[in-house]
Structure 1
Amino acid sequence: MPVMADIETVAVIGVGTMGEAMVGHIDEGGYDVYAYDVDYEKAREAVESQATVTDSLEKAVRPAEMIIIAVGTYEQAKSVVCDTGGILESATAGDIVAISSTLSPEQCISLSEDLSDEEIEPIGAPTCRGEKAARRGDLLVFVGSDRSVYDRARLVLEQFSSPENVVHLGPVGSGQAAKAANNALLWSSVVANQEVLLLAEAYDLDLDLVRELLQKSTGSNWALGGWDWMHTKWAHKDMDIISDMAKRQDVRIPSLALTEQLVQEIDQDELDRTR
C-alpha cells in the first residue's frame, strides 16, 4: 500500500500488545515509524521491526506527521498530550494525533480540544477484535473526527486494519462512544458465558463440547469463541465508562449496571476452570 504524500512518518506512543502490533504493521506498510514507551527496555525487546524505539516521548513525536496514542488509561493519554516533552510541546501544527486508547467520549473530546488549540488535528480511533486481530492486522477501527482528518489518516489506520474496517462514525468522540457500546456487549457476554459454563460443569457436561456447540447455536458470541484467552483486566474501567456515559445522557441501563457489578466478581481461577 502506498504511503500518503503528507504522512511519511508515524509515531506510536505506548508499546503494549496493541501498540506493538501497530508498529509492526505500519512499518511493513513503508512508513518511517518511531515508537515510545515509558518502559524503554521492554519496548526495545518487543519491537521486532525496523521502527526506531526512542528513549523520550519528544524524540518520537517531533519527527512524526501522525502520532498514535495507544496507552491504557485516560491519565496516561493526558500525560502523553500535556506533560513536558509531550505532544502539545513537540508536535507541529497540522500533525494528526490519533487517540486509540479506550476512553469515554468526553475524555476524548477534552484531549482533542487541547490539541486543536495548538492547531494539531485530533482523531478518535479506538479499535476492537482483540490481540489476535491486532497481530493479524485485522482490527476494526471506530473513527470520530472531521472528515478531512479521517481522509488524511485513513491509509495509516488501514495498515493494521482494512479499508472496509476503518469506519467514520461522526465527530470526535463518536468512535469512543461506539467502542463503549462494543465493550458493554463484550462484558455482558463474558458474565453470561461464565455462568452458563459453570452450570454446564455442575451437570458434568464436557465443557469443550458445550462451547463448540454453543458457538454453532443461537447463543453464540465473540467472547465464547475466544474463551481460551479471555480475561477481565479492563472490565472495571470499561464498565465505568459505560456508567458515566449513561449518567451524563440520563439513560437507564439496569442490565449493564448489573453487569458492571458481576464482571468484577468473576474469580480468575473460576474463569480458568471453565476453559
Structure 2
Amino acid sequence: MVDFNRPNRVSSARDMPGNEVVKMRVGCVGAGVMGREIIRHLVTAGHDVAAFDLDPVALAAIDPRAVAVSGIADLANSADVFFIIVATDAQTSDVVTQLLAVGLGDGAAIAVLATCHPDTMAPLAKAAKAAGIGFIDAPVCYGKKGAVDGNLLSLCGGDVAVVEQLKPAMMAYSRDVLHVGAIGSGQVAKACNNMMHWAACVANYEVLFMAKSHGINAQHMREILLQCPARNTTLERWDSTNFTWHEKDMDVALDLAQQSGITLPLFGQVDQLVKTLGPDKVKMLLYGNSASYLGQNLAETAADPEK
C-alpha cells in the first residue's frame, strides 16, 4: 500500500534570491514532445545534459547545447542523475533496469517523470536501493504547454532526501516540486489529477452541448463560464486538449480503486464517456454550426431573445 503524507512543498533555488543554482550532470532518456522541452530548460538553467532516445529524429531535434549519446551505457557515463521521460510503464522498467545493469556512480539517482501505474514504481525502487542508487517517481502536470513554458508541476514519491538532491534540476522545468509521500505516491497524485481532468472534459462537453441546444453559441458560453465559479483549467485549455492518454489514465485510476475495494460510479461513467470525445469533436462544438453527442445531433440556432 502507498503511504500518504500531507504534500510538502520542496524549497528551491527559485525561492532564494542570490543563491546560485547547483550545476548538475543530468542524463535524460526520452526526447519526445515533453523530453525535448525539459532538456531545453535544463541546459538553459546551466546544467550539463546528455540525452538518449531510440528515435534518431527525436534525438537530433534536442537543444544543441545538450549532448546526444548513442545508448544507455554512454548515458550512464555522462551523468550523475537520470530523468526517465518515456511513454509507457514497460519502457520505464526497461530503461531503469538497463541503467542499473550498466552500473551508476556513487550518489547517482533516478527520477521517473513518465506517468506510470504506481505499482510499477515499487520493484524499480527496490532494485535501485539494492544497487545503492536513489530513486523517486516524479510525474509532471500541465502537459505540453507546461513543458514549453518551463512551469510543470512535479509530484514526487519517495525519500525526501532524494527529492532534495534532484531539486536543482527539477526546478529548471517546474513551477513547484511537491513531495507527496512514499514511493508510488507521486503517480497516485498524478492519477488523481488525471481523473479530475477527464471528468472535466466530459462535464465541459455536456454543459456546452446543452447550451448549444438552447441556441447559445458554445464558445460564447465557454467564455462566460471562465468568469464563473465553475471555471476549470481544463476548460481554459480545452481546445488544445489532444485526448491522447485518457484510456491509459482511466485504466490506472479504476485499477487503483479496485485495489482499495472502493466503488467510483462517476468515474466508471467518465471512463466510457470520454472515449466518445476527441479534439475534432470539441472544436466542432465550440466553433462549428453543429455538434453531436451519444447519437444526438444539433444544428446551432439563435436563441429567441423574447424568451
Question: 1 or 2 for the larger relative contact order (CA 8 Å, sep ≥6)?
Answer: 2
Pairing 1:9–2:12 present: no
Greater share of strand: 2
Pairing 1:73–2:88 present: yes
In structure 2, the residue matched to 1:48 is 63
Q: Is the 8 A contact 2:199 2:270 kept in 1?
A: yes
Pairing 1:139–2:152 present: yes
Gaps of 5+ in 2: 1-12, 14-19, 287-307
Q: Is the 8 A contact 2:112 2:138 kept in 1?
A: yes
Q: Aligned-residue CA RMSD in angstroms?
A: 1.6
Runs of 4+ in 1 over 6 A off after TM superposition: none
In structure 2, the residue matched to 1:107 is 120
SS at structure 2 position matched to 1:62: helix
Pairing 1:29–2:50 present: no
Q: Is the 8 A contact 1:93 1:118 kept in 2?
A: no
Opposite residue 89 of structure 1, the aligned amino acid is: V
Q: Separation in 1 of the partners of 2:43 and 2:278?
A: 39
Q: Is the 8 A contact 1:62 1:90 kept in 2?
A: no
In structure 1, the residue matched to 2:164 is 151
Pairing 1:260–2:275 present: no
In structure 1, the residue matched to 2:238 is 227
Structure possessing the higher radius of gyration over alpha carbons:
2
* Residue correspondences, number: 268
Shift of 1:87: 4.1
SS at structure 2 position matched to 1:10: strand
Pairing 1:183–2:194 present: yes
Q: Sort the Cα spacing of 1:254 and 1:93 in 2 relative to 1 into closer, same or farther, 3 A.
A: farther
In structure 1, the residue matched to 2:17 is none
Shift of 1:156: 0.9
Opposite residue 150 of structure 2, the aligned amino acid is: G
Q: Separation in 1 of the partners of 2:234 and 2:113?
A: 21
TM-score of the aligned structures, taking structure 1 as reference length: 0.92
SS at structure 2 position matched to 1:274: helix
- Post-superposition Cα deviations, 1:128-147, rounded to whole Å, max 9, x if no partner, equal 01211211111111111112
SS at structure 2 position matched to 1:35: strand
Shift of 1:49: 4.1
In structure 2, the residue matched to 1:174 is 185
Gaps of 5+ in 1: none
Q: Separation in 2 of the partners of 1:35 and 1:238?
A: 27
> Identity of counterpart residues, as a percentage?
30
Greater share of helix: 1
In structure 1, the residue matched to 2:16 is none
**Range moving further from structure 2, 28-37 or 104-113:** 104-113
SS at structure 1 position matched to 2:87: coil
Q: Is the 8 A contact 1:124 1:175 kept in 2?
A: yes
In structure 1, the residue matched to 2:97 is 82
Q: Separation in 1 of the partners of 2:149 and 2:280?
A: 29
SS at structure 1 position matched to 2:230: coil
